[in-house]
Amino acid sequence: MNYTFQFGEILANSDLLLRGLKLTILLFAIAFSGALVCGLFIGLARGSALRVPNLIATAYIEIFRNTPVLVQLIWFYYALPALSGWQPSAFTAAALGLFLNTSAYCAEIWRAGLQSLPAGQWEAGRAIGMSEWQLLRRVAVPQAFSRMVPAFTNRGVELAKMTSIASTITVQELMYEAKMLSTQTFLPLETFTIVAVIYFVLIYPGTLAAYALERRLNSKGA
Amino acid sequence: MVDVTSASVPPVLAPPVLAVEGLHKSFGSNEVLKGIDLKVAAGERIAILGSSGSGKSTLLRCINFMETPSAGRIALDGTSIGVEGRGGAITARSGELRRLRTRVGMIFQQFNLFPHMTVLENVMEGPVTVKGMNRKEARATAQDYLKRVGLSDKAEQYPQRLSGGQQQRVAIARALAMEPEILLFDEPTSSLDPELVGEVLDVILGLSKEGRTMLLVTHELGFAYHFATRVLFLHEGRIHEQGTPDEVLKNPREERTQAFLRRFSAFHF
């Protein structure tokens, strides 16, 4: 064990890593916010008694959950243009893939969360004349959301790490820049140690914030 | 020619605020309601009695379409709800059902208050979200109704801090805040500890003095006697006997009714 870590050279190039970090955060923000919203609607379709929406939502969820996300990204970047004639940029393909993948997981979280609501709550809302949309917005989501926060947090953490896969389709996010840097400097140990620290510093505060949100929601009445 | 303006006209001749005709309801192969006909005049207070499984809760829940009738007709002020669809079941548009439910309030056995809202917010919710009333006005009305059920001091509490009896009184205020023409009570005291039943029944009795049209499913026979202008006894999905409280509860004609009432008076001391 006489390897001497040489962090100096990597830190001198930290602007490259920070540039990558910006794209990582952008990928995460687009995919996660989109998936939270889109997941609600897929989750509603999945929980619906209507045959066709239910079938479509189920197929969607199972396809995205049961194939590797790496394959999905490659498919959106290489196969989709061949089929549709539309060539998305690497970033668009990655954002799309991560968004659709995470939507599938979020849909299941929404469905389970909304189904955990006692039947009496839906009935009480209907009995005063609420529409299904009003019920969702005023009664179901506010109550179910606090119970879903831990699951969404998990999903967010997974997604933040999953963004690194975008490097394989040449999105110049943090992992991509790290690979470049490590081959230029021949210092992979140092590079990836620093990258690990960056991912941790990026993700861990989010986890802490989610814990705080969970505590706040749980203390408020429900 | 009958002079309808005359005060001597018995109330049954007035157009019924609620008419139920040939109401059937099945859950799968289990036919719970087997043809119910019922006309309710404005201001009538109807107590619905019957053993469990007789269909009394289902009847109530069909009136505001918490359950969709399998066949038959429900009419409010002479206007039918929905249209007869395939196989006799009624299909109604969601907008029509929402309007119906703003006119027909319901109080549940399990209260079903919204736990993430304060007591005041629970009562304001319908007027604000459904009727589009501004919050200031809704707050004032809600406070009025909370006063009526004797819970002004609990307005800022969350429901789970309240006793069952208090929660049920809030639920009554929540229903009243929609200013419904008809109130349906589905066993409002059945999940309450015995010592909390009285406060809820007092509130309901108070409402009955205001001339509201009410239908109440209950096991509290003594209360039904004082509350009701008419008592229905349901047996196996049909109205087996009906009449004034004195007729049905004191001098029942039907053997089934007599047997049902005997079970409640098994203990005298």
For residue B13, being part of any structural domain is answered with no
Q: Nearest chain A residue to B64 by CA: give it.
A: A127
Better pLDDT: B16 or A221? B16
The count of structural domains within chain B is 1
Chain A residues with beta carbon closer than 8 angstroms to that of B215: none
Q: Which of B98, B116, B175 lies at the smallest CB-CB distance from A222?
A: B116
Q: How far is CA A218 from CA A116, A136, A141, A143, B214, in A?
A: 16, 19, 14, 10, 38
Give the burial string for B171-186 (b: 16+ CB within 10 Å, else e).
bbbbbbbbebbbbbbb
Q: What are the percentages of helix, strand and coil residues in chain A, rounded to 5?
A: 85, 0, 15
Helix, coil or strand: residue B45 = strand
CATH superfamily of A8-219: MetI-like (1.10.3720.10)
Q: Tell me the nearest-neighbour CA distance from B15 into chain A, angstroms.
A: 25
> For testing the chain B interface, which of A128, A131, A143, A145 should be mutated: the one with the most B CBs within 10 Å?
A128
**Number of inter-chain CB pairs under 8 A, A vs B:** 70
Structural domain includes residue B157: yes
pLDDT on residue B267: 63
- Does a structural domain hold residue B27? no
Chain A contact for B93 (CB, 8 A cutoff): no
Residues of chain A neighbouring B60 (CB-CB closer than 8 A): none
CA A205/CA A116 separation, integer angstroms:
29
CA A122 to chain centre: 29
Dihedral sign, CA of B160, B161, B163, B167?
negative
Residues B226 and A183: their CA atoms lie apart, in Å, by 90
Structure confidence at residue B7 (pLDDT)? 45
pLDDT (0 to 100) of residue A108: 96
CA A189/CA B258 separation, integer angstroms: 89
pLDDT at A81 over 50: yes
pLDDT number for residue B13: 58
CB atoms within 10 A of CB A80: 16
Q: What is the pLDDT of residue B1?
A: 44
CA distance A122 to chain B (A): 9
pLDDT of residue B177: 96
Top residue of B129, B131, B145, B185 to mutate, by most chain A CBs within 10 Å, is: B129
Tokens read off for A131: 């529409």
Q: Cβ separation of B158 and A221 shorter than 8 Å?
A: yes
Q: Does A129 contact B102 at a Cβ distance shorter than 8 Å?
A: yes
For the residues A116-126, what does the mean pLDDT come to? 95
Tell me the residues of chain B between 168 and 207 that have a Cβ less than 8 Å away from chain A: 171, 174-175, 178
Domain boundaries, chain A: 8-219
Backbone dihedral angles phi then psi of residue A6, each to the nearest 5 degrees: -120, 80
Length of chain B in residues, anyone?
A: 269
Question: How far is residue A55's CA from residue B71's CA, in Å, rounded to a whole number?
Answer: 30
Does B105 sit within 8 Å of A130, measured CB to CB? no
Nearest to A127 among B99, B106, B159 (CB): B106
- Interchain CB distance below 8 Å, A123 and B112: yes
Helices (H), B104-247: 119-125, 135-148, 164-176, 194-208, 221-227, 245
What tens-digit pLDDT sequence spans chain B (269 residues)?
444 444 444 555 567 999 999 999 999 999 999 999 999 999 999 999 999 889 999 999 999 999 999 999 999 998 999 888 777 788 888 999 999 999 999 999 999 999 999 999 999 999 999 999 999 999 999 999 999 999 999 999 999 999 999 999 999 999 999 999 999 999 999 999 989 999 999 999 999 888 899 999 998 999 999 999 999 999 999 999 999 999 999 999 999 999 999 887 766 56
- In 3-state terms chain B splits into helix, strand, coil percentages (rounded to 5) of 40, 25, 35
pLDDT score, position A220: 63
> Mind telling me how many Å the CA of A134 is from chain B's nearest CA?
7
- Measured from the Cβ of residue B135, the count of other Cβ atoms closer than 10 Å reads 11
Say how far residue A74 (Cα) sits from the centre of its chain.
Answer: 18
B35 by Cβ neighbours in 10 Å (0-12 / 13-18 / 19+) ranks as middle
Overall size of chain A counted in residues: 222
The whole-angstrom distance between B234's CA and the closest CA on chain A is 24
Per-residue pLDDT at A146:
85
Contact A167, A21 (CB under 8 A): no
Give B98's contacts in chain A (Cβ within 8 Å). 129-131
ipTM of the predicted assembly exceeds 0.85: yes
Residues of chain B neighbouring A131 (CB-CB closer than 8 A):
94, 98
Please indicate whether, in this complex, the C-beta atoms of A139 and B114 are within 8 angstroms of each other. yes
Scanning every residue of chain B, which has its alpha carbon at the shortest distance from the alpha carbon of A134? B129
SS3 B198: helix
B216 vs A: CB within 8 A: no
CATH of the domain at B255: 3.40.50.300
pLDDT per residue as tens digits for the range A2-50: 788 888 888 888 898 999 999 999 999 999 999 999 999 999 999 988 9
Which residues in A lie closer than 8 A to residue B120 (C-beta atoms)? none
A120, A142, A220: residue with CB nearest B110: A120
Q: Does residue A174 carry a pLDDT above 60?
A: yes
Q: Is residue B143, in this structure, part of any structural domain at all?
A: yes
Task: Look at residue B56 and tell me if it is in a domain.
Answer: yes
Q: Does B253 touch chain A (CB under 8 A)?
A: no
Task: Give me the pLDDT at residue B263, please.
Answer: 84
Spatial separation of the C-alpha atoms in residues A106 and A139, rounded to whole Å: 20
Q: Structural domain of residue B60, as residue ranges?
A: 32-264
